[in-house]
Amino acid sequence: MKLNIAVLAGDGIGPEVTAQSIKVLKAIALEFDHSFSFKYAPVGAIAIDETGNPLPEATLEQCKNSDAILFGAIGDPKYDNDPSAKVRPEQGLLALRKSLGLYANIRPVKAYDTLLSKSPLKKDIIKGTDISIYRELTGGIYFGKKETSADGDTASDLCEYSRIEIERVAHLAFKAAQSRRKKLTLIDKANVLETSRLWRKVVKEVATNYKDIELDFLFVDNAAMQMILNPKQFDVILTENMFGDIISDEASVIGGSIGLLASASVGDKYAMFEPIHGSYPQATNKGIANPIASILSAAMLLDHFDLNDEADLIRTAVDKSLALHITTPDLNTKYDNITTSKVGDFIADFISNPKDSNHNFSNIHLGQSTII
């Protein structure tokens, strides 16, 4: 298969982790005789510095002319710490989602057996957790009308949803549940919010087309508690934009590091793949940023094009890296010589040589493997 991939590495650790994803995708292309081309474009703070616009028109056009988008991270402290800034890096990401119609964000959450001790939650609570979160991505309060009074003392953000916005992401979530454990949980605040009451009404109607799926409902405050008390109860979660943002970040503690969580943002025509973590500027260029979320996002990219064997090989390589402690410091307190690049090297090398004796645990940490 031939794929043209737009690379929007972005800010902070974005370029470092995205470089590892590209390294892995190149190994996949070589192993399976595919052709992947990568074209780079700026977004976020770096784009503001270069053009004054967090999403330059040339970047948007590059995305529209590509088969898929590989995204890094976005954000810069100089904007985070300036509440008066009119132009912000995050505006580029929101505009990208809206312009490309990326209305559904899919975030897998998994508890890896080799990392159960890394989570602040008890092992018996998280073991076996496997959740897929479907978050509506282009509506709600993030995209509603925003106003501040002339005196600066009052502000408002409008949360608004339409039937079609709810239906289209609901259908994706129900179809995903059919290939999993056949359970879908809608998270809302229908006891207070009119938008949530519309969500509940529309999702119940959509559910009549999926009679094999068990549908239940949780208010978002209870869901936040249940995610900590009993995450294994969840299979597919469906929710609106802001609730999904919060719940999926909370779920990152299950795996032990936000550096493990990948995501796909999809629409009817375009698709983008990115780790859920931020730009983590404190770690930039230090070789300590965890690239696994970005690499797993690349696996989701392959899944999107039905390259499932290729995607599974990446996941197997990731599992092997975790089992052998070929991980960055957020997950690895035993070894201090494993850098961002070395994790990418290992996973790419495993793809090319899955049975190579150089994957012997001792040799790797002694630096005798060809991959380190």
**Catalytic annotation, pick one of 245, 303, 330, 349:** 245
249 is catalytic: yes
334 is catalytic: no
98 is catalytic: no
CA-closest candidate to residue 34, choices 4, 64, 62: 4
* CA gap 116, 109 in Å, rounded: 13
Cβ atoms within 10 Å of 360's Cβ, excluding its own:
13
80 is annotated as contributing to ligand binding: no
**Catalytic annotation, pick one of 249, 286, 319, 320:** 249
356 is annotated as contributing to ligand binding: no
Contact 275, 161 (CB under 8 A): no
**Catalytic annotation, pick one of 189, 270, 303, 349:** 189
Phi-psi region of 187 (alpha: psi -120 to 50; beta: other; left: phi over 0): beta
Contact 152, 84 (CB under 8 A): no
40 is catalytic: no
**Catalytic annotation, pick one of 142, 161, 210, 270:** 142
249 is annotated as contributing to ligand binding: yes
Element (H, E) at 237: strand 236-239
Q: Where are the alpha helices (DSSP H) in 208-240?
A: 220-229
* CA gap 87, 293 in Å, rounded: 28
Residue 56: phi and psi, rounded to 5, are -60, 150
For residues 63, 65, 69, 71, the Cα torsion angle rounded to the nearest 10 degrees is: -30
* CA gap 59, 310 in Å, rounded: 28
135 is annotated as contributing to ligand binding: yes
142 is catalytic: yes
* CA gap 23, 371 in Å, rounded: 13
* CA gap 234, 173 in Å, rounded: 13
**Catalytic annotation, pick one of 221, 268, 312, 356:** 221
Residues 6+ apart with CB under 8 A from 100: 63, 64, 69, 267, 269, 270, 272
* CA gap 352, 27 in Å, rounded: 6
88 is annotated as contributing to ligand binding: no
200 is annotated as contributing to ligand binding: no
Cα 326 to Cα 60, 170, 224: the distances in Å are 36, 38, 32
Binding residues for substrate: 97, 107, 135, 221
Q: Which residues does the annotation mark as catalytic?
A: 142, 189, 221, 245, 249
Binding residues for Mg(2+): 221, 245, 249
Binding residues: 97, 107, 135, 221, 245, 249
